[in-house]
Structure 1
Amino acid sequence: MAGHADASCLTGEVVQGNLRFTIAARDDEADVRRLLREIPIGGRYQITLERQPDAFAPGAGRTRSEHIIIARDRRTGCAAGLCERVVRDAFVDGSIRQLPYIGALRIAPSHRHKIAVLRGGFEALRLLTVRPGELPFALTSITSDNSPARRVLTALLPGLPLYHPAGDFSTLALRPKFRSANAAIQCAASSDFAELSEFLNRVNARAQFAPVWSEAALRGLQGHGLLPEHFLFVRQGKRISGCMAVWDQRRFRQVVVRQYPKQIGALRPLLNLAAPLAGLPRLPAIGTPINQCVLSHVAFEDEDQATLLALLDGALDQAKRRKFDAALIGFATARPWGAAIQQRHRAIEYQTSLYLTHWPDATAFVASLQPRTPHPELGLL
């Protein structure tokens, strides 16, 4: 149990001192959107992950459940923080399981140093959102250079869950560019979704925390900016051997730079002038959403880096034709993909650390997991 929280599933709230925690409802939407807009993720690059125009717009990809917990000061009614828990089907130890992901942890400046916000928030997640059949831990991530968050969340403080390291995750920001056509790279059609689903699941089952993609789920992404022709794939013989998609998420999720590292911020105009020659993406003005796409659904057989690079060239060409300024690709840092990509393309690298967060009664279960390479989907984090 977390601290002295007074919790009741019947009332649908958790009380911790002067804070009240509930599952966010439509009346909370404006405050949820405001907190996401005003509170950046810590680190050298201060960015906000925003959800305009509607924080409650249906999430991309099929989910088992989606809940946002909002904390309010009981005296003033002001929003003090929030976090989100999303449950999706994913491969864990080769089997399809219901995997929770905890993200969007934001604490208002007025409550930044009050541990009660964290204690009450995690207790509310446990009591108000957990359902039978779900795994007893949640995947989560912390920006690698966000030392304050890492220090608090991994400090084994009373009333907080444990944080078990699950590997590092690299995100590369690449500059879209025209590339010569490669006859091996094909654009998908709607009729390819069944085969793409089978291929993605066959490859993802070998990794840890990789998503499960049904044919229906792939079709459903058309309502979230990912059309059939945005999928690229290659074949080896008659079978698909590699896949990558160019996903425009700007209609429901935006990444906004709020602060650059001091030297980069001062030199940004000059760096943007040199960016085309350097092969790096341009740096947007503070407060401007990044004109970016996500290179999602990355999968290929046998860690074949030639296939990876061929698909990446095709994806960057499509991103350029669709007028994106940056393309993001994410993968476990332990994979050799980063070195291979950066030998061919200049990139800005952004690192996060993955954790499995759980209460003490799940410690043995977490310790028993197989040491497979994590492969969460960047487009769903």
Structure 2
Amino acid sequence: MTEPTTPERTRPRTHADPAPREGSPAREGRPGDAHARTDAPTDAGRPMAPPSEQAIPLVNRAAESEGVLARPARRLETERLADLFAAVSMDGDLRLSVERHPDYFALYDLEHDPEEQHVRAFEKDGEVEGVAAFLARDALLGGERVRTAYMSDLRFSDALRGGKVLGKVFAPEMRLAREATGAELFYTVVFDGNGAAQKALVKRDPRWPDKPLYRPLRRFDITSVLLAHPPLPRLRRPYRVTRARAEDMDEVLAFLQRDQRGRPFGYVLDEGRFERRLRDWPRFGAESFYLARDGQGRLAGVTATWDAFDVKRYRVRAYRGAMKRIRRAWDLAAPLLGGTKLPAPGELLRYAYLTHLCVPSEDPAVLAALLDAAYADLRGTGLCFLMLYLEREDPLRAALRGYLTSAMPATFYVVCAPDSRFAEVDLGAGRPGFEMALA
């Protein structure tokens, strides 16, 4: 996601390498996976980039007049990239920084092979002062299979801010990303409160006529459900919720894939991607899924919870506005209700995502049943929030009644060249195929 950009002066602390999930085998290498190349030369114990990455001549000198060179990011730079990423905070009532130590690329590797990762470093005076990523995959658009790329993790330090760098490099970077990944169409998320990003990325500027076109597709809220009070009592539960087992995964995959076919940017899950998630996502598996069934035993809704601590973490920088009041009230009530106090500034905020959310009927009672079950299981585990994607006029919002929530407004944009065939195409209704946990 393209996030608010408030630099922090203090270098974030790194955390110890997370242990693998208990009972999980060590991750086996896939062809071309730099993590699997145990015979590759290393620097400080880190694998070097694969030969294909080293050989790509993708240097962008469009901002050379500003003293900036854009080039492929190298895996040997993982610590610098993670430091830079954490130094730029997400602003809002809850100000957070995102930490990706010890391996900046680990989040990308969960979902994308190295050849699908076009990660860029922006260098000034020999130092990496900016980073951006283009992550390629096939997506479903109106029944058509299209090569797309998610534009993610744009971060600039003070050294690159306030100038013309982005305006000069943006169009050439898109062209290089298309050449490197084969992507025809791009998509991204920008926080609505990030005025700097809105101006630099979304707003048209006559100085840069070839600047990529941003088309808003969906406006949504990154919604956080505070794991605070005891589970809600429900007078009537029309759906029965159970935890999934390994033998349920074929049914779950078929259910999810049917839904994705009707979504813009729908995922192609049934060609190995779903199995890869079950295998590679840490702290995740069949048991992470919740299944809601109707009175006839038919699957009505699915979701899964995921704690992404091993690949990214949120550190609290400050509480402001409504969140400051919520924290004060909650910390007084937490001991009485058996909840977890919110972390102090400087501490990590533990949370989980509600992933793979699928309710084809749009019946909020289905989501309410799933949410109630997940909430009951996660409350008291040390986690503070459960995060999910909800659109502004989403019929599923009714499922959150009775819960304490906060929201960060954002917009899902389709991004393409002004002369692209997608510049004016109607991409259809429905929630996009967008797994917020991977953003």
TM-score of the pair, normalised by structure 2: 0.76
The two structures, once aligned, show a CA RMSD in angstroms of 2.9
Question: Which residue matches 1:366?
Answer: 423
Q: Distance in 2 between matches of 1:166 and 1:276?
A: 43
Question: Which residue matches 1:169?
Answer: 220
Amino acid at match of 1:209: F
Judge conservation of contact 1:169–1:353 (CA < 8 Å) in 2: yes
Q: 1:81-160 counterparts in 2 under 5 A?
A: 81-128=130-177, 130-131=179-180, 134=183, 136-157=184-205, 158=208, 160=211
Q: Secondary structure at the match of 1:88?
A: strand
Q: How far apart are residue 174 of structure 1 and its match?
A: 1.0
Q: How far apart are residue 266 of structure 1 and its match?
A: 7.9
Structure 1 residue 11 and structure 2 residue 60: aligned? no
Amino acid at match of 1:355: Y
Q: 1:51-66 counterparts in 2 under 5 A?
A: 51-57=100-106, 59=108, 62-63=111-112, 65-66=116-117
The runs of 5 or more residues in structure 1 that have no matched partner are: 1-8
Q: Distance in 1 between matches of 2:177 and 2:411?
A: 27
Q: Distance in 1 between matches of 2:392 and 2:339?
A: 20
TM-score of the pair, normalised by structure 1: 0.86
The number of residues matched between the two structures is: 368
Judge conservation of contact 1:69–1:121 (CA < 8 Å) in 2: no
Judge conservation of contact 2:99–2:313 (CA < 8 Å) in 1: yes
Question: Which residue matches 1:67?
Answer: 118
Q: How far apart are residue 279 of structure 1 and its match?
A: 11
Q: Deviations over 1:221-269 (max 9, x none)?
A: 2432212111011234354221010111011011223233257448844
Question: Which residue matches 1:287?
Answer: 346
Judge conservation of contact 2:134–2:177 (CA < 8 Å) in 1: no
Question: Which residue matches 1:348?
Answer: 406
| More divergent stretch after superposition (85-94 vs 41-50) | 41-50
Q: How far apart are residue 132 of structure 1 and its match?
A: 6.5
Structure 1 residue 209 and structure 2 residue 255: aligned? no
Q: Distance in 2 between matches of 1:283 and 1:122?
A: 42
Structure 1 residue 200 and structure 2 residue 256: aligned? yes
How much identity, in percent, do the aligned residues show? 23
Judge conservation of contact 2:364–2:396 (CA < 8 Å) in 1: yes
Q: Distance in 2 between matches of 1:238 and 1:215?
A: 27
Q: Distance in 2 between matches of 1:367 and 1:278?
A: 52
Distance 1:370 1:58, change over 3 A: closer
Q: Distance in 2 between matches of 1:117 and 1:234?
A: 46
Q: Secondary structure at the match of 2:410?
A: strand
Pick one of 368, 371, 381 that aligns with 1:309.
368
Q: How far apart are residue 47 of structure 1 and its match?
A: 2.2
Question: Which residue matches 2:78?
Answer: 29
Judge conservation of contact 1:12–1:22 (CA < 8 Å) in 2: yes
Q: Distance in 2 between matches of 1:365 and 1:318?
A: 43
Distance 1:165 1:349, change over 3 A: same
Structure 1 residue 187 and structure 2 residue 210: aligned? no
Q: How far apart are residue 72 of structure 1 and its match?
A: 0.3
| More divergent stretch after superposition (322-331 vs 123-132) | 123-132
Distance 1:266 1:122, change over 3 A: farther
Structure 1 residue 245 and structure 2 residue 304: aligned? yes
Q: Secondary structure at the match of 1:160?
A: coil
Amino acid at match of 1:120: V
Q: How far apart are residue 297 of structure 1 and its match?
A: 0.5
Judge conservation of contact 1:197–1:215 (CA < 8 Å) in 2: no
Q: How far apart are residue 35 of structure 1 and its match?
A: 0.9
Judge conservation of contact 2:300–2:360 (CA < 8 Å) in 1: yes
Q: Distance in 1 between matches of 2:75 and 2:250?
A: 36
Q: How far apart are residue 98 of structure 1 and its match?
A: 2.7
Q: Distance in 1 between matches of 2:337 and 2:195?
A: 31
Amino acid at match of 1:242: G
Q: How far apart are residue 151 of structure 1 and its match?
A: 2.0
| More divergent stretch after superposition (90-99 vs 353-362) | 90-99
Judge conservation of contact 2:130–2:156 (CA < 8 Å) in 1: yes
Question: Which residue matches 1:5?
Answer: none
| More divergent stretch after superposition (85-94 vs 268-277) | 268-277
Question: Which residue matches 1:6?
Answer: none
Q: Distance in 2 between matches of 1:184 and 1:324?
A: 25
Judge conservation of contact 1:62–1:217 (CA < 8 Å) in 2: yes
| More divergent stretch after superposition (325-334 vs 293-302) | 325-334
Q: Deviations over 1:258-283 (max 9, x none)?
A: 23325744884454224678999853
Judge conservation of contact 1:173–1:349 (CA < 8 Å) in 2: yes
Q: How far apart are residue 10 of structure 1 and its match?
A: 6.4
Q: Secondary structure at the match of 2:102?
A: coil
Distance 1:59 1:189, change over 3 A: farther
Q: Secondary structure at the match of 1:367?
A: coil
| More divergent stretch after superposition (100-109 vs 21-30) | 21-30
Judge conservation of contact 2:110–2:280 (CA < 8 Å) in 1: no
Distance 1:281 1:309, change over 3 A: farther
Q: Secondary structure at the match of 1:365?
A: coil
Distance 1:129 1:68, change over 3 A: farther
Q: Secondary structure at the match of 1:353?
A: strand
Q: Distance in 2 between matches of 1:288 and 1:80?
A: 25
| More divergent stretch after superposition (295-304 vs 182-191) | 182-191
Q: Distance in 1 between matches of 2:75 and 2:287?
A: 35
